[in-house]
Chains A and B, each alone.
Chain A
Amino acid sequence: MRMAQSSNRSYTLDYGLMSVHLSAETRSDGELAATYEAHFDLLVGIAVSRFGIDRADAETLAHEVFLAFLTCVDRINDQRAWLVSAIFNASKNYVRRAQRTEPLPEDGRDPADPRYARAGQQWPDVLAAREAFARLTPRCQLALRLRHLEGYTIPEIATILGTTSKYAAKLVGRCLDQAQRRYGGGGAS
């Protein structure tokens, strides 16, 4: 049988997905604060009574649900349903994670993280490196982030940047040079 997929397969769908954001109406911060006040105790109550989470952690979870809500509030139709569902999901997730963690013994020693043993001496270098990184172009920040923070290989970076491996290798090398120059106090490129 003939498949009638005449036009490009994804355009109609993307119009659909795009439209999610077309009818946004902005809520004022006053309305948002009122929503927070009106629902905070309800969310905490659900986390405590339905999932046995202690109150302090439940309050943190409820607050985080509201933070998540803040960036997508304009796309939410039923705020109460969204918030209740979000706290259910968050609580389930929290409980699942709590079951996987093991408490430290009450009388055990709490050794310092060895990574911070020389924190005092390292801080100036860390800050200088951050500053140097922040002064790079967005293209360089992205390339170096993918290579050195996300751990991607050059071919993978090429894929993500939509370019060739040769160009990606050159870009990473050039950006690293640029960063080193700035780390050493060099000026703009």
Chain B
Amino acid sequence: MSRLEEFARLARQLEAERRDAAKAVPLIVTDPERFLDEPLRREWLTLGMVEALCSAARTELVRSPERSLHIAQLATTIAEALVESYPRLIRVQVQAQAWKAMSNAHRLASRHPAALLALDVADRRIADEPALAHDRATLALARAITLREMDRTAEALLLLEGSREVFRNHRDLRQVAQCDLVIGMTHHRTGRFAEARQAFMRVIPVARAEDDLHTMAAAYNNLGRAAADAGDLNASVDALQQARSIFRELEMPTEIARTNWSIGVAQLSAARFDSAIGMLSEVRAELLKLGMPEEAGLAGVDLIEALLATNARAAARDLAVTIVEEFRNARLNERALQALSYLRETADVATAETAHQIGTYLRRLTNEPALLFVAPDRNR
């Protein structure tokens, strides 16, 4: 068989496998963990199935990282069991994709060491393949995102520059935009707001040209946050409103609530306390309605900060009492409960700065669940 014939046969086979996988995957997604404990069905051992499961794992990421992890584990097992009639290069390519899907699920659940270990396996699979430079750049981007979340920003930036170059050479503008988005977020985390804003600005025209509304909204959202931190309230609210209108178009209520939250925080930063109180109250109610008690609690702490800044101590204390109850009922992190209880006990004397410090602690706790709570100095 000539190479062209082999290629055409594979293309046909892949198309058929994708059609079959599209029928099988919805069943798996309903309860993926169950299928991890049943023998693998032979008809599932296809490349199309691995692709479809990786895609399903991506879709489930935001809804449920655990479900996404189980789907990715299934994809990985299938990818590793693919028969040798597939060319070796394609097998290792999809194996790397499946390990990356597993890494993503771990990262979304803030299990960063696990995410890096899974990426190590993915890297090993394709390290020796000259033709997979684009895939290696994709893995490097995933690693950079993980490292950024672990505050290993210098390593993240180095990887991002390398990946961006490979994507740029391939004229893969979407991935270039993703790199810029992460570069901006990395600069933002290190307090380099001007560089962050420049990176986010680079993303917007590309995402618009590609009609990629998700990335455009993400860029506006991050741009708004960076502008707020740079003290540029007008630019911040403009950008956040742009993000919000895109999220509305995409019908993403959680992102709309989060963007409103960012607007409320920007107003709080600019000492526009009345507007901040109105906005944050609405956001908190919306987050509770959406079944997100942890984020509603965090928004509540921002609201307490605004209330304390306007000396509305009774309202601040009442809210602290409510949040402690919500956290207790939702069985959220004990240390978070300890910090919130401290805020409740000290609401009569606490300053807005105290609430701010507790909010900062709670946000760090999301990434560092073992971080000890140390009561802020009340006299400061």
Contact = CB atoms under 8 A, between A and B. Distances in A.
Interface of A: 1-23, 26, 28-29, 32-33, 36-37, 40, 59, 61, 63-68, 70-72, 75-78, 81-82, 85-86, 88-91, 93-94, 97, 134-139, 141-142, 145, 150, 152, 156, 159-162, 188
Contacts of B108: 10, 14
A29 B11 contact: yes
A97 B171 contact: no
A141 B266 CA distance: 50
A5 B356 CA distance: 12
B131 interface: yes
B228 A4 contact: yes
A160 B40 contact: no
A85 B258 contact: no
Contacts of A160: 102, 106, 114, 117-118
Nearest to A72: B134
Interface in B316-349: none
Contact of B295 (A8, A22, A88): A8
Contact of B170 (A15, A81, A137): A81
B11 A32 contact: yes
B366 A6 contact: no
Contacts of A82: 134, 170-172
Contact of A64 (B130, B236, B298): B130
Contacts of B38: 137-138
Contact of A14 (B18, B62, B299): B62
A11 B258 contact: yes
A141 B268 CA distance: 52
B196 to A, nearest CB: 11
A43 B248 CA distance: 45
Contacts, number: 246
Nearest to B33: A139
Interface size class of B (residues with CB under 8 A): 35 or more
B73 interface: yes
B277 interface: no
Contacts of A10: 107-108, 145, 149
Given A76-B172, A88-B169, A13 B182 contact: yes
Contact of B218 (A16, A77, A81): A16
B291 to A, nearest CB: 14
B77 A90 contact: no
A61 B170 contact: no
A135 B77 CA distance: 12
Interface in B66-90: 66, 69, 73-74, 76-78, 80-81, 87, 89-90
A66 to B, nearest CB: 6
A9 B6 CA distance: 45
Given A5-B363, A8-B366, A81 B171 contact: yes
Contacts of B172: 75-77, 82
Contact of B11 (A23, A33, A188): A33
Nearest to B76: A142
Contacts of A67: 7, 10, 87, 89-90, 93, 131
16 contacts: A2-B356, A10-B107, A13-B218, A16-B219, A21-B55, A21-B58, A29-B12, A33-B4, A68-B90, A70-B11, A71-B47, A89-B169, A134-B40, A137-B40, A138-B78, A162-B111
Nearest to B220: A12
Interface string B185-217: 100100100000000000000000011111101
Contacts of A139: 36-37, 73
Interface stretch (B152-160, B173-181, B368-376): B173-181
Nearest to B114: A159
A6 B298 contact: yes
A77 B134 contact: no
Contact of A89 (B113, B166, B212, B261): B166
A19 B213 contact: yes
Contacts of B87: 67
Given A63-B7, A138-B77, A20 B178 contact: yes
B107 A36 contact: no
B131 A159 contact: no
Nearest to A60: B3
A70 B10 contact: yes
A88 to B, nearest CB: 7
B181 A13 contact: yes
B246 to A, nearest CB: 10
Contacts of B74: 138
Nearest to B35: A138
B297 interface: no
A6 B39 contact: no
